A and B are shown apart, each in its own frame.
Chain A
Amino acid sequence: SAVISQKPSRDICQRGTSLTIQCQVDSQVTMMFWYRQQPGQSLTLIATANQGSEATYESGFVIDKFPISRPNLTFSTLTVSNMSPEDSSIYLCSVDSGQGGPDTQYFGPGTRLTVL
Chain B
Amino acid sequence: EDKVVQSPLSLVVHEGDTVTLNCSYEVTNFRSLLWYKQEKKAPTFLFMLTSSGIEKKSGRLSSILDKKELFSILNITATQTGDSAVYLCAVLEGGSEKLVFGKGTKLTVNP
Contact: A42 with B103, CB < 8 Å? Answer: yes
* Size bin of chain A's contact surface: 20 to 34
- How many residues belonging to B are interface residues under a CB distance threshold of 8 Å? 22
Besides A31-B97, A104-B45, 15 other A-B contacts (C-beta < 8 A): A42-B103, A42-B104, A43-B101, A92-B42, A96-B97, A102-B31, A102-B50, A102-B92, A104-B34, A106-B45, A107-B36, A107-B42, A107-B45, A110-B40, A110-B42
User: 1/0 per position for A37-61, CB-CB distance to B under 8 A?
Assistant: 0000111110010000000001000
Main SS of chain A's interface residues?
A: strand
Instruction: Tell me whether chain B's interface is mostly helix, strand or loop, or mixed.
Output: strand
Task: Please list the residues of chain A having a beta carbon within 8 angstroms of any beta carbon in chain B.
Answer: 1, 31, 33, 41-45, 48, 58, 90, 92, 94, 96, 102-110, 112
